[in-house]
């Protein structure tokens, strides 16, 4: 049984990352030169002296909301990928998303506004990436919940983006953090959709439930699907994006027939014959200890040859009735449920 403290456990590397980010958050407030040296300014993007800030911007942040949301999302990310991803894969994913998100944001901001006051810092891209990872595992799982009410994974990105816009409107975060959040979402989805390595030598997650349009409300899906599919086909023709790998799964005939209502497999038929024979042995009292009841052949037909018993025998033996009725299942996978034994004492 899992205790309340078990769900709060985190790995050593996750705890170390949380402490490292909190240290950078504290130094950004108490040491003024710390933030200016590590943060990335889009104006200095093409300066060789400031190029190192592409890899240090995540360690400096003076936004309270961004920092504490980052701590929360790193904890959630650790719970999601602990048993599925290796540490190397997790680090590769975070570095890929953070680096490309800040480069994309800096390039767009450099084209639109070359103001020296624009600065990129923090891990808003990681916050968006966590919502994408959660969506990949299960779009209906709750990111945050209270009772039966919560935020589902498929709505995580759009709700977070609207909150960031609201925070930026009231100057709780910079507008550049909204840009980081948006590009963090795009690059994390691109990585998981096309580049992530899976067993069987395949790359990416090409399920329709993980399409880009599924991250948006139902009314917006068609408006998002058209431009995203158009851009995808352009990238596919230019060979800048890998194609979708079509896969098929071979299903055995027995498992396929077992999932169809009205059809039974050999294993199910043998089980029914064995249970019927068990009922006959339990209802029949042997004359002596040397007399043994011969078990039937499993290849015989599943008939209804129930032995007759007298009232005296029924009163002396505890009857065990096995329910042989099997409700038709509409599931595609066959599950062999153990029989339910009902024991009644007739001795009075």
Most confident of 78-92, 148-162, 191-205, 234-248: 78-92
Among the residue ranges 189-203, 234-248, 311-325, the one predicted with the least confidence is 311-325
The dihedrals phi and psi of 279, each to the nearest 5 degrees, come to -60, -40
DSSP assignment, residue 339?
A: P
Q: Which residue has the higher pLDDT, 328 or 284?
A: 284
Q: What is the mean pLDDT of the chain?
A: 76
Among the residue ranges 25-34, 148-157, 199-208, the one predicted with the least confidence is 199-208
DSSP 123-168: -HHHHHHHHHHHHHH-TTSEEEEETTEEEEGGGHHHHHHHHHHHHH
Going by their DSSP bridges, the two strands 341-344 and 319-322 should be labelled as: antiparallel
pLDDT tens per residue, range 20-71: 999 999 999 999 899 989 999 988 776 656 788 888 999 999 999 999 999 9
Percent of the chain with pLDDT over 70: 69
The answer on pLDDT for 298 being more than 60 is: no
Give residue for tokens 């980010």.
Answer: 21
Q: Quick count: other Cβ atoms within 10 Å of Cβ 25?
A: 21
DSSP three-state, residue 198: strand
At residue 1, the pLDDT reads 45
DSSP assignment, residue 194?
A: I
Question: With bands split at pLDDT 50, 70 and 90, how would you rate the model's confidence at 299?
Answer: low
Residues of the chain with CATH 1.20.1540.10: 8-237
DSSP assignment, residue 219?
A: G
At residue 16, the pLDDT reads 93
Question: With bands split at pLDDT 50, 70 and 90, how would you rate the model's confidence at 239?
Answer: low
Q: Model pTM?
A: 0.66
**Residues 238-255: what's their mean pLDDT?**
55
CATH fold for the domain made of 8-237: Rhomboid-like fold (1.20.1540)
């Amino acid at each position: 049984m899992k205790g309340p403290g078990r769900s709060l456990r985190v790995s050593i590397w996750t705890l170390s990352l949380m402490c490292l980010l909190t240290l950078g958050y504290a130094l950004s407030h108490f040491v003024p030169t710390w933030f200016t040296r590590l943060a990335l300014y889009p104006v200095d993007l093409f300066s060789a002296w400031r190029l190192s800030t592409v890899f240090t911007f995540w360690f400096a942040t003076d936004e309270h909301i961004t920092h504490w949301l980052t701590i929360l999302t790193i904890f959630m990310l650790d719970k999601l990928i602990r048993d599925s991803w290796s540490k190397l894969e997790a680090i590769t994913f975070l570095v890929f998303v953070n680096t490309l998100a800040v480069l994309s944001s800096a390039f767009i901001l450099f084209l639109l506004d070359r103001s020296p006051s624009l600065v990129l810092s923090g891990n808003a891209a990681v916050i968006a990436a966590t919502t994408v990872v959660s969506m990949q595992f299960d779009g209906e799982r709750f990111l945050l919940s209270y009772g039966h009410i919560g935020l589902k994974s498929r709505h995580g990105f759009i709700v977070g983006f609207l909150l960031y816009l609201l925070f930026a409107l009231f100057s709780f975060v910079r507008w550049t953090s909204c840009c980081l959040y948006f590009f963090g979402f795009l690059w994390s989805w691109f990585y998981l959709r096309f580049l992530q390595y899976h067993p069987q030598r395949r790359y990416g997650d090409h399920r329709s439930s993980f399409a880009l349009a599924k991250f948006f409300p139902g009314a917006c899906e068609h408006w998002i699907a058209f431009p995203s599919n158009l851009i995808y086909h352009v990238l596919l023709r230019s060979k800048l994006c890998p194609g979708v790998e079509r896969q098929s799964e071979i299903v055995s005939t027995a498992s396929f027939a077992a999932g169809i209502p009205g059809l039974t497999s050999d294993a199910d038929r043998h089980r029914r014959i064995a249970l019927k024979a068990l009922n006959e042995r339990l209802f029949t009292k042997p004359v002596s200890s040397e007399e043994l009841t011969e078990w039937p052949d499993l290849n015989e037909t599943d008939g209804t040859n129930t032995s007759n018993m007298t009232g005296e025998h029924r009163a002396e033996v505890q009857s065990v009735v096995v329910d042989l009725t099997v409700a038709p299942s509409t599931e595609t996978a066959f599950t062999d449920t153990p029989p339910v034994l009902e024991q009644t004492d007739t001795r009075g």
